Structure 1
């Protein structure tokens, strides 16, 4: 489908049988005549139905100059067949599902530039840059669609849009060549465009430097000789020269005067020695221009060769732009997607309607009730002229803010619909709404209707609406009317929709009725559907003789003498001419005289009876329609629930299998972790067994068995049940226990807030806690004593074995954590990072935190990808005891509670010193070394080096002191000397600094010693310990 050509589509019925008896040349001439006639009628019908105004309405939602031009000139594509229209609707639906607008910036309509290149004219730098930007932007457009499809899991829904640009030749080679030769930011040809150009420009640069240097020297000599007030080198007639007073021109013998000042007192002369250099400059400048033209000619030829591919890309971009414009238009008017009834649909549903549209509004009438197009911040022209035309054709005025919706219900098998009723009742507007809805659906546009509109796909929409009087063609109103109908009958096919307004009017009523009836009888056998309006009551009697006819009437309120604009399907309407004339303001005498004539022509009783009967039938019809809509709504809700239940039932087995598989995977992962821990205990038991005496064997065995038993017990399901009423509603001033804050009582200082949080006083700290984590203290009983939250002065941490016991705590026990108070040291900000970078920072932050501490992780909200990554990492990390949201009002921050490392006991810390571990070798890891430092001095900071070593320092004293000689000991020197070895030094509390280096595999056999000042020294080399400590 070439969008850049004529977009009016049509199909013709087979020629009459009589054409087969004519020569082939005559048949082709008649067929060509019918094709031209169909094009003319289709174009006129589009204007009659105000299709250009609707396209102008759509123009406000386009994003490219091509889309804007296509919409303003009514070149919106109409599907050539039902499949093509369905494809356009699928594109619109896909664009509706994508709420994120696409970026069309950089895309220009370069078709004129391409035509210029094909014509043999050389393109300018600006034009070639336009081609390059467009090619790059089109490729970026596809990348946007693919990115949106991947991120939002819309691959299936976006496929109609992806198919437009996929498999296209984006001419990346042409884009690369233009970018290689031209700098589009400065609109200059680069030196690298060709070797010849680079050589010329280098030679020209050197020549110009020599010329300027020489002229500056000449100008300086003239200045020194008094020939000019100040040295001046300039250019005249494209040649470099110097300024000199007219009476000192003798200072430049053999020089050439190029120009003079306006007063004639100053000459601009070219010195004799500069003539050859200037000539060389001119020659090089011409050579450069010729080479640049050759490069532009080459790029122009490349562009001309890619004409078809470039125009094809522009057509595809236009198709995407119009799809998103149709989607935006659908959201603007709250439209719904229409459905085409397939051929043979009646075989599946006997009571189906061939046209079933609920509550459709004319889109042009609806425009004045919606948000103004000028407020949409889209590129569109002023629509004032179109809006004036729309206002003149409005059905609803006065107190109504929205046009009255119209229901169009045409049963299957009906070929002709006759609409009767009063003037100004909405017959023509309803008929035009049906025609415009058919065109919109063919173009892939949504309809301003309700529920699911359904109707056939029409190949041609042919209309005869309005006065076709023409003095130039000597046509009266009736002649123009009949002439156009004759043309419509000539080109209409069995898939066409024909709309005729006031059929047979403008002549004698009896002859008009006869001609109209004959035309309708012809149409019922020739077209898919014909809708006509009339005031001839005799035409409504055709339904009694043929079921392919249907009647419809426009409702008229006898009480208010005003039309209601509702269509009564299956009814015959009255003209109500006298009521309309009276409402317009006719003289009462004229109205009374007309009523007297009606009484003479119609018996009084019959007139009264007809009026009462009509009124009762209208009331009954309205009641039945209300009941029908209610029943249809209930049936639709019931079917929706039924389908949901069926879908859930079909997917039940799959979900159950997936849940079992997930549980099995979790159990397997837990078993793998337990197996790893048990293997580590067994391996440790074997290592320690080799260095343990026979007397200690039993105790070592019991210790290992106890550790394995505690791991197994931790996995055993707990039978504990949450005690009812464990959640406590605190009162102001009450002392309560806070989950996670140990056994110390906290005081409630504020009543509970609306978000189920309460502010409590915990020592000198105020904490806001959830009411679900608050418990009342047991009456008469002491609460459980937990580990203190802070160390006393001079006290070290307990045995490192306690850290293992914390990880093996029973489920009903709580690991103690301090209050979650945020500082700069316990906060990591991930905003602006990618997933891989954020994962690395979180792992480093967790490893850097001490035991029983908290970590604030700021990930923000955004798309939720970063938050999901953090949650998954915290869920799987072995050092994270639990994690939670910071507060109910802050979803962008998560608090992680850090537990100790899982490892074996190494050293028993005593009150004020670190004793030896003896000369026995202990297997120690990098993480365990770090934990020793953190447990001994929690304020230490670690720095990693490229060679695998790392350095740990505190922040109390900046100049660390060596334990032996108390001299400054630079950390970089320690690291350099110990590279490839393993050694670390604990300094005493006076120095408050640590130095540490490790080997590359992260583990080794450790030997320990004590320095003279009581510091602990560990290394794999006993000689190093002896040198550092003096004893071992």
Structure 2
């Protein structure tokens, strides 16, 4: 039933979207098939990893997983003592290097302790990595330095090949007119020349092939037969040596295969954590807080698949919904017109519950508060088993039966058009009984319906709550907004009238519906109007609060700027004053020297001194008058301002001004600076 619910909620599509945020192929494969945790502790572990990866992204310190490749099959074959190819060994070496670099990055991220612990278990075997790099290059070629014998063989190969080319070049020059083309080619791994068929005798040798027309013969001249034979021997020796090297390297991988398997698991977990964080950042999501006995709070909740359509597929703007459910409520009945968003609301909340269980952030405004549901079970849509020839009603009942079998006290149950597909009176009775049963046996059930009888359950059972999707009477279109505490009203007659149904038919229909139904619709319409008015006032108040906060910040910024400017002005003025005083002092010095030389009168000195005094009084702050020093004797009384009390002197103040006093029943040591005379 859980797997069937995942299909109904399109969980696989969400996983595919998540996989686009991974870095490695292993991470993409794992993200596309994310299992839903069965244990609360596992969810908390995943959520903690997501939070830490999100912190990395916020600091622009995201980890790099470059070089890490999908080496699963190669490691599995190494465990079976298989021989790996050079490219597979190179991929293992780059994966070891990438994992070591990943661990080094997380070692420096002290704010990610859980990811650090995860990465600390990575064993990267740098000696094995370096040995692979010594023997193999990026293109998957075994290098000459891999073994001394391989180097010798390749050196001889080069020498023999050069000899063959030299001989063939000489033959081509001497017999240019006998050749079809002036090129050297190969047939059966042997070097040959393309000789014109009529000129066969001019180039004696072994014929290895003929062209389709028979006009060209591919001849191996007799002079290079021995060299070609040696070349083939050396090629076989080279291949044998390469196999020896690959076998030795593969044996090293076999020894560490178990640790490599664990390395792949750890790296994939980290890749998934980073992908969840990046997906959360892209969605504008927030971390869920699991509170079992508290209200469910999901404000501005958006359907993640619709957000994807809006951003990547030019879909229409997503209308968020508020899901606010009191802790005592265990059944929510959503009513309203068709295509109004009831089913979308079910799927949105169901996906939010699954995302929270999988350690993902929820596309809703902070705070995100909800219970941890051990199971999410859904009956959505009118699918039916054609093989069993079941009707829509039968298909629903079969699925509901499976839901009841899997039910637990901590489950979330989502029912779309509960009781539909059969006689309305009987369907309504079944739906009522089913919802009452779910209210007593599960954590939360949310059902959509058109049955008017289910709207009244809220007033009979405190566990029930009503919600409705809003409908705009003027445009005859749904707004896709969810209203809480208000049942949905029927809009069939209003819509029919606006679409042109004759008034006499509408009047007859209204009589059959009954006066009570019309009055109920009027009451619901009035409640909706009151809710809209209250919402507008709330939004206006929120806007006013935002504007007030903006103005407050602007005032603080301006005040800080003015303080900074005033400080700069004071510093500039002090510098100017000090410079003027220094200049005046220089003038005094000059006057004094001239007086000593008998060149100036005393009046000149007095004039300069007055200028200095004027500058000092005008620009330098006045020093506070010195505080008179107290002279105290034993028995005198003094006031201690910080206590607001009067104390009696017990000892005469010492050189530092410390002395003892009696304050009430206490004996204290104080300083002259802490006292005042009486």
TM-score (norm: length of structure 2): 0.71
Q: Deviations over 1:819-847 (max 9, x none)?
A: xxxxxxxxxxxxxxxxxxxxxxxxxxxxx
Instruction: Determine which of 71, 91, 96 is the counterpart of 2:49.
Output: 91
- The equivalences for 1:288-687 within 5 A come to 288-304=238-254, 306-342=256-292, 346=293, 352-353=294-295, 355-369=296-310, 372-373=311-312, 402-558=317-473, 561-582=476-497, 585=499, 587-589=500-502, 592-603=504-515, 610-621=520-531
Paired residues of 1:258 and 1:269 also in contact (CA < 8 A): no
Q: Distance in 1 between matches of 2:479 and 2:532?
A: 13
Residues 204-255 of structure 1, C-alpha deviations (whole Å, 9 max, x = no match): 5566677778x599969x969x999999998765456899999897999xx7
The answer as to 2:141 corresponding to 1:191 is: no
Q: SS of the counterpart of 1:293?
A: helix
Name the CA distance, whole Å, in 1 between partners of 2:81 and 2:585: 95
In 2, are the aligned partners of 1:420 and 1:575 still within 8 Å (CA)?
no
CA–CA distance in 1 between the matches of 2:586 and 2:431?
Answer: 100
Change (3 A) 1:363 1:560: same
Q: Which moved more, 1:463-472 or 1:428-437?
A: 463-472
**Residue in structure 2 matched with residue 141 of structure 1 by the alignment:** 102
The 2-side partners of 1:198 and 1:608 are apart by 97
Give a deviation string over 1:928-986, Cα, whole Å, max 9, x none. Answer: xxxxxxxxxxxxxxxxxxxxxxxxxxxxxxxxxxxxxxxxxxxxxxxxxxxxxxxxxxx
Paired residue for 1:179, among 115, 133, 139? 133
Quote the offset at 1:409 in angstroms.
1.4
1:54 positional shift: 2.3
Pick closer, same or farther for the CA change 1:777–1:181 going to 2, 3 Å: closer
Distance 1:601 1:210 in 2: 105
TM-score by length of 1: 0.48
Report the Cα offset of residue 470 of structure 1.
Answer: 3.6
Instruction: Describe the shift of the 1:310–1:781 C-alpha distance in structure 2 as closer, same or farther (beyond 3 A).
Output: closer
User: Judging changes above 3 Å, is the alpha-carbon distance between structure 1 residues 64 and 230 closer, same or farther for their aligned structure 2 residues?
Assistant: closer
Write the distance in 2 (CA, Å) between the matches of 1:634 and 1:482.
51
Matches within 5 A, 1:835-914: none
Higher relative contact order (CA 8 A, sep 6+): 2
CA distance in 1, matches of 2:403, 2:325: 22
8 A contact 2:301–2:363 mirrored in 1: yes
**Alignment pair present for 1:166 and 2:120:** yes
What's the CA shift for 1:279? 3.8
C-alpha deviation, 1:169, in angstroms: 2.1
Kindly report which structure 2 residues correspond to 1:974-989, keeping only aligned pairs within 5 A, or say none. Answer: none
1:993 alignment partner in structure 2? none
What's the counterpart of residue 50 of structure 1? 10
Q: 1:194 to 1:618 in 2, by over 3 A?
A: same
Compute the RMSD of aligned alpha carbons.
Answer: 4.4
Q: Check whether the contact 1:219–1:243 (CA below 8 A) recurs between aligned residues.
A: no
Partner Cα separation in structure 2 for residue 234 and residue 540 of structure 1: 88
Q: In the alignment, is the contact (CA less than 8 A) between 1:180 and 1:193 conserved in 2?
A: yes
1:724 positional shift: 8.6
Paired residues of 2:407 and 2:442 also in contact (CA < 8 A): yes
**Are the counterparts in 2 of residues 45 and 462 from structure 1 also a CA contact under 8 Å?**
yes
Deviations 1:146-170 (A, max 9, x none): 34x2xxxxx12x2233333221222
- TM-superposed CA distance for 1:482, in Å, is 1.0
> Is the 8 Å Cα contact of residues 150 and 238 (structure 2) preserved in structure 1?
yes
- Assess, with a 3 A threshold, how the Cα gap between structure 1 residues 405 and 285 changes in structure 2: closer, same or farther: closer
Q: Counterpart of 1:741?
A: none
1:103 paired residue among 64, 82, 105: 64
Cα offset, 1:263, TM superposition: 5.9
Report the alpha carbon displacement of residue 486 of structure 1 after superposing the two structures with TM.
0.8
Does the 8 Å CA contact 2:43/2:359 hold for their aligned counterparts?
yes
The size of the alignment, in residue pairs, is 560
CA deviation vs aligned residue, 1:529-576 (integer Å, no higher than 9, x gap): 111111222223333443222222333455655444333323333222
Q: Where do 1:691-840 residues align within 5 Å?
A: 727=572, 778=580, 784=586
The structure-2 alpha-carbon separation of the partners of 1:104 and 1:561, relative to structure 1 and needing over 3 Å to count, comes to same
Asked if structure 2 preserves the Cα contact closer than 8 Å seen for 1:200 and 1:287, the reply is yes
Distance 1:783 1:540, change over 3 A: same
Of residues 88, 91, 94, the one that matches 1:130 is: 91
SS at match of 1:588: coil
Distance 1:406 1:502, change over 3 A: same
Instruction: Determine if contact 1:138/1:317 at 8 Å carries over to the other structure.
Output: yes
SS at match of 1:189: coil
5+ residue gaps, structure 1, are: 1-40, 150-154, 347-351, 374-383, 392-400, 636-721, 729-771, 786-1032
Aligned to 1:8: none
Contact in 1 for aligned 2:190/2:220 (Cα 8 Å): no
Q: What is the CA-CA distance between 1:632 and the residue it aligns to?
A: 11
CA distance in 2, matches of 1:466, 1:630: 39
**SS of 1:175 mapped into structure 2:** helix
Cα distance, 1:631–1:287 mapped onto 2, change above 3 Å? same
1:201 and 1:288 in contact (8 A); partners too: yes
Matched, 1:270 2:222: yes
For 2:442, what is the secondary structure of its paired residue? coil
Q: Report how far residue 469 of structure 1 moved.
A: 3.1
**2 CA distance for matches of 1:434 and 1:199?**
70
CA distance 1:260–1:528, shift in 2 (3 Å): closer
Distance (whole Å) between structure 2 residues aligned to residue 293 and residue 136 of structure 1: 25
Gaps of 5+ in 2: 546-566, 588-678
Cα deviation, 1:447-493, whole Å, max 9, x if unaligned, reads 22112111111122111111123433211111111111111111122
Whether the 8 Å contact between 1:211 and 1:278 is mirrored in structure 2 is yes
